[in-house]
Amino acid sequence: MPDVSGMRFSESHEWVKQDGDTATIGITEYAQSQLGDVIYLELPTVGQQLDAGGRLGVIESVKAASDLYSPVGGEVADVNQELKDHPEYVNQDPYGKGWIIKLRAIKDNPKLLDEKAYDDFVKGQAPA
């Protein structure tokens, strides 16, 4: 089980972990399992401003293409360049090597869920 302590989650299945004035963002285990094998990501550029809840890019899998949303707002400080050659990291390690972007000058989003609230949300989405 990956360590998700300190992470918060959006209802669109992105996670965010803040460390000082930087936030790392990726997609959740649930999201990657629903997408299937990730084959491509369209990501923002360093320096780009993102709004909380705003579109940050696109993720393509063998099943579908989906928009990615930023759970918090801020300026893109870093983009995981390894995902260009290894998009499978999103499937293999969504909370580690599969991180997507890092933001700085973070604008918080009070609608984010803690781990338990997110687990309850996902359970409510799963078919019975």
pLDDT for the residue numbered 57: 96
Q: What is the CATH number of the domain that holds 18?
A: 2.40.50.100
Q: Which residues of the chain have pLDDT under 50?
A: none
What predicted TM-score, i.e. pTM, was given to this entire model? 0.91
Does residue 53 fall inside a structural domain?
A: yes
Residue 59, in any domain of the structure: yes
Cβ–Cβ < 8 Å for 23, 103: yes
Residue range of the domain that includes 23 = 7-123
Q: Which residue has the tokens 């400080």?
A: 77
DSSP sequence for 69-90: E-SSEEEEEEE-THHHH-TTHH
Q: What's the CA gap between 47 and 107, in Å, rounded?
A: 15
Cβ-contact 59, 35 below 8 angstroms: yes
Question: Is 69 inside any structural domain?
Answer: yes
Per-residue pLDDT at 124: 86
